[in-house]
Amino acid sequence: MHKFFVLLSVACIAAGCPLKKNEQATGPVNPCEYLIESQKEFAALLSATHQQVFCSQFTNEQRAKAISLSDTGLTPDEAVEQVLTESRGTKPETDPKKKKHKSLNIIK
């Protein structure tokens, strides 16, 4: 009898039997669900990548800065990029580590 239940369990697992009620799988958690309403509204305007950064990685101060920057004419995505740039402490175009290399045009 024990072998029967073991075989039945293996067959069920292989066939993808549904989970029991108390074992229901949950979908991915929305990283923005814990934000205050104004932050949620701003996050809804962002691309998926910027939304992930805004909701999951920014501090409340960085979120407030991004929202205020968007009031100055930047798009929400540009505002998030600006806060990211400021948090890195460098400007991409003036970063000495990112020297522009001249391409070698070798013509034969």
What share of the chain has pLDDT > 90, as a percent?
A: 52
What residues make up the domain containing 82?
32-89
Looking at the domain assignment, is residue 101 inside a domain?
no
Question: Strand runs (DSSP E) across 5-106, as ranges?
Answer: none
Whether the predicted pLDDT of 47 surpasses 90: yes
12 domain residue, yes or no: no
Task: Decide if 58 is inside a domain.
Answer: yes
| Residue 60 pLDDT exceeds 60 | yes
Q: Which residue has the higher pLDDT, 102 or 60?
A: 60
Query: How many domains, the chain?
Result: 1
pLDDT by residue (tens digit) across 68-89? 999 999 999 999 999 999 998 8
> Residue 18 corresponds to which tokens in the numbers above?
């549904």
| Confidence bin at 23 (pLDDT 50/70/90) | very low
